[in-house]
Structure 1
Amino acid sequence: MDAAMTSTTDTACPSCGGPVAEADLFCEACGAELKPGTPAAAAPGTPALDTDTEPTVEIDAVGSLDGGPVGPCASCGGTVGTDGYCETCGTKAAKPRDHFVEQPAPWVAGVCDRGIRHSRNEDAMALGADPEPGSRALLVVCDGVSSSLDSDVASLAAARAALEVLVADHAHGIGTETSRAGAIAARLKAAADAASDAVLDSTSPDSPNPASCTFVAAVVEDGLLVAGNIGDSRAYWFPDVGEPVGLTTDDSWAAELIAGGVPREEAESGPHAHAITRWLGKDAPDHTPRTTTLEVDGAGWLLVCSDGLWNYCSEAAPLADLVRQTAADNNGEPKATASALVDWANAQGGQDNITVALARV
């Protein structure tokens, strides 16, 4: 849930539509210079498609995500001060967390982006993969709950902790497919436990609104796909031939309405559409992921994403068409495809943080 408070003397930034005071020289949201007499832009609720006002920083190493702005000012090359603004031109510097990329292998990649409307990126991802295409991929996405404190810290800690558990070893079971699926599902549950512990470690004991986030993870190992989730981040399987599959079911008020017979479009556009019923956090009722297992018998795309993407294309079939067409436009390259899907979500309005993680199996 997002809320904004502005005074009666506020206007709107002409670059991003964010609220600014008449005395401000620069927009707090995007860093754009504000000149006296500049006409106000559309109301803050109007989608703004121009994201060029605040440069992004793409990084492939997650270790630097915890810090502040990296390097010199992208606009003029000046020094970025400790307040995050260029000391020469006043442009607000991008934070590494605003837009980052991971590609552990050529066939697996993800892009995590702040979007247009949020002031910070509360999404996080952590990816792992073996070099051989289709052999083993581990995709984790966590989406911080905006109404909780330090959700951006919690989501990143949760994603990293879960991946650490998943990469620890291969799950072989006792040699049968059923036992192997059960072993992977058990590892997913252990990963969710580790993610939950990481969220708790990121929460102040006396916090009035404990940090919380969603969790979704998918594991591909030698023709077997297992996905598990808590909250409303999702995993999908889009085979090149055959019906696309939604691998997860949201823990949300909207999902309960859909299960009760309410049309999906109506349920997912209602006032409580994004109210989740399960999450990771100190006040979570339960953090055991519900898992789904699927045998992969052909080529396709595994998509793990936050609601910043599926908000604009929820059902499996049309989302599969979007992913396939976007992949075709980008020569089937996962990193370029994920980036293009993020751009597409921003073009639809970018109302939320966006995370797109893909594996080309």
Structure 2
Amino acid sequence: MDAAMTSTTRTACPQCGGPISDADLYCEACGAELQPSSGPSTPALDTDTEPTVELNPAAATPAGPCRSCGGTIGADSYCETCGTKATKPRDHFSEQPAPWVAAVCDRGIRHSRNEDAVAVAADAEPGSRAMMVVCDGVSSSLDSDVASLAAARAARDVLAAGHAQGIGTESSRVAAVIARLNAAADAASDAVLANTSPDSPNPASCTFVATVLEADLLIAGVVGDSRAYWFPDEAEAVALTVDDSWAAELIATGVPREQAETGPQAHAITRWLGKDAPDHTPRTTTLKVAGPGWLLVCSDGLWNYCSEAAPLAGLVRQTAAAANGEPLATASALVDWANAQGGQDNITVALARL
């Protein structure tokens, strides 16, 4: 993902030939580290050289079997049979705070590290209360994998802790939830800044999308181009968010969606979280939930391959039917589907079944 529209010169990645700019540190297509020198380039096997946020600081779990051949992972983090580097916990993880809410976050195929992040929370009763946050680190910025995970968790914690209901009217209830979303975005922004080196030439940055469900009230807030959708069982699918991106601006002027979202600057975002962000107040959408359905929050690693609400709703419903309606299995299958389409980007899928 590119950060914002700039006047930089666009060239080709020496590894895969994908489009890059002179400001990019990593290729968006393959994740290769871009070297400033003019000498021969070599593939970047592991560009994640900076410290990363621990998924579970209290317990370091040993590496499992090799994902390539099933062999044993040695002390050097490489497979003793085929030599493949072990998958880091940050590369693929999941969360399921309640049986009806789950999320899966995956590195994808082409990127060398996972810059996506997700954090979710939910009450036990299905359809009662749930908070889902997805942040997508900007590939051209330093430590975006650290910043995105810290941001998602900070926002989730603010949303889960607050339970303001206003003064008893519906409008005050909506205003109270929107205020919580704004506070969550502030906390996420602070987390990004806390994980940015003061002298960084490319400060850490990420997108932000969050949904709050409280009974029949659903509110989504967005900064950037991660998305939220509502797929009711008996009504038309709804895109809850509109991207802050160059592609969205083109679509607003009448350019066909497919053309805008596949152009050379399709993923250039116009708002983000970070030190150089122009504004991080989320734009919100409010919806009254009138029946059962699926709530989806995702990064562009999924919607790149199925952008419009109606066909994406069909994909989710078909996948859920094959997974017996289980949210974690459905989210995992959707990640697998995106990888099968090419896995060009990191992939995050968060689902709630109402």
TM-score exceeds 0.5? yes
1:354 aligns with 2:347: yes
1:126 aligns with 2:99: no
1:6 CA displacement? 5.0
1:340 aligns with 2:337: no
Deviations 1:108-162 (A, max 9, x none): 0011011110000000000000000000000000000001111000100000100
Once residues 111 and 273 of structure 1 are traced to their aligned partners in structure 2, the CA distance between those partners, rounded to angstroms, is 25
- TM-score normalised to structure 2 length: 0.83
Once residues 301 and 221 of structure 2 are traced to their aligned partners in structure 1, the CA distance between those partners, rounded to angstroms, is 19
1:4 CA displacement? 4.1
1:99 alignment partner in structure 2: 92
Identity fraction in percent:
75
1:77 CA displacement? 2.5
1:77 alignment partner in structure 2: 72
1:97 CA displacement? 1.0
What is the RMSD computed on CA atoms of the aligned residues?
A: 2.3
- TM-score normalised to structure 1 length: 0.82
Deviations 1:72-128 (A, max 9, x none): 5534334332xx324676331110011111000000001101111000000000000
1:290 aligns with 2:273: no
Once residues 206 and 152 of structure 1 are traced to their aligned partners in structure 2, the CA distance between those partners, rounded to angstroms, is 18
Once residues 170 and 231 of structure 1 are traced to their aligned partners in structure 2, the CA distance between those partners, rounded to angstroms, is 26
CA contact (8 A) 2:101 2:122 kept: yes
Mark the runs of 5 or more structure 2 residues left unpaired by the alignment.
3-11, 17-29, 33-42, 47-53
Aligned length: 312
Once residues 209 and 94 of structure 1 are traced to their aligned partners in structure 2, the CA distance between those partners, rounded to angstroms, is 27
Aligned pairs for 1:194-343 within 5 A? 194-343=187-336
CA contact (8 A) 1:73 1:91 kept: no
Q: Which amino acid aligns with 2:204?
A: A
Partner of 2:177, secondary structure, is helix
Once residues 64 and 183 of structure 2 are traced to their aligned partners in structure 1, the CA distance between those partners, rounded to angstroms, is 41
Once residues 72 and 359 of structure 1 are traced to their aligned partners in structure 2, the CA distance between those partners, rounded to angstroms, is 29
Mark the runs of 5 or more structure 1 residues left unpaired by the alignment.
8-16, 20-26, 31-60
Partner of 2:280, secondary structure, is coil
CA distance 1:338–1:78, shift in 2 (3 Å): closer
Once residues 349 and 303 of structure 2 are traced to their aligned partners in structure 1, the CA distance between those partners, rounded to angstroms, is 10
CA contact (8 A) 1:80 1:87 kept: no
Q: Which amino acid aligns with 1:334?
A: P
CA contact (8 A) 1:18 1:29 kept: no
The worse-fitting range, judged by mean Cα deviation, of 88-97 and 259-268 is 88-97
Higher RCO (CA 8 Å, separation ≥ 6 residues):
2
Partner of 1:63, secondary structure, is coil
Once residues 330 and 73 of structure 1 are traced to their aligned partners in structure 2, the CA distance between those partners, rounded to angstroms, is 25
Once residues 145 and 358 of structure 1 are traced to their aligned partners in structure 2, the CA distance between those partners, rounded to angstroms, is 23
- CA radius of gyration, larger in: 1
Once residues 239 and 176 of structure 2 are traced to their aligned partners in structure 1, the CA distance between those partners, rounded to angstroms, is 22
CA distance 1:254–1:139, shift in 2 (3 Å): same
Partner of 2:235, secondary structure, is coil
1:229 CA displacement? 0.4
CA distance 1:65–1:224, shift in 2 (3 Å): farther
CA distance 1:132–1:287, shift in 2 (3 Å): same
Q: Which amino acid aligns with 1:299?
A: P
Q: Which amino acid aligns with 1:79?
A: G
Once residues 221 and 14 of structure 2 are traced to their aligned partners in structure 1, the CA distance between those partners, rounded to angstroms, is 37
Once residues 208 and 191 of structure 2 are traced to their aligned partners in structure 1, the CA distance between those partners, rounded to angstroms, is 12
CA distance 1:18–1:254, shift in 2 (3 Å): closer
